[in-house]
Amino acid sequence: MDDDGRAVVDARAALTAGRDVVLAVDPAAPVDVRTVGELAALVLLARRCGGRLLLEAPGTALHGLVDLLGLDVVLGLGHAPVQRACGSADPEG
């Protein structure tokens, strides 16, 4: 998420307008508490403005850190379904 600052700026603008946002997350990107803090800020902004933040392809490291910090339920991060080549949605999404 840090590497693509423009995507975060665009997400903030869309969330402020009350729209739902799907944010692509590189599952191989390094994850730290700062990343989770940025996500928490975006989720809070979405809730305040009537939008929703969905993550596309978050990695196990992000899930693990969010769970470890006890924020999995608090953040309520949705997961955007991953579209497969045949067009069916990911059953785990």
Burial class (CB in 10 A: 0-12, 13-18, 19+), 1: buried
> Domain residues of the chain, as ranges?
5-79
**Per-residue pLDDT, 90:** 46
What pTM did the predictor assign?
Answer: 0.73
CA distance 37 to 31: 11
- The two beta strands, 21-24 and 78-79, are unpaired
Report pLDDT digits (tens) over 68-91: 888 888 777 555 554 444 444 444
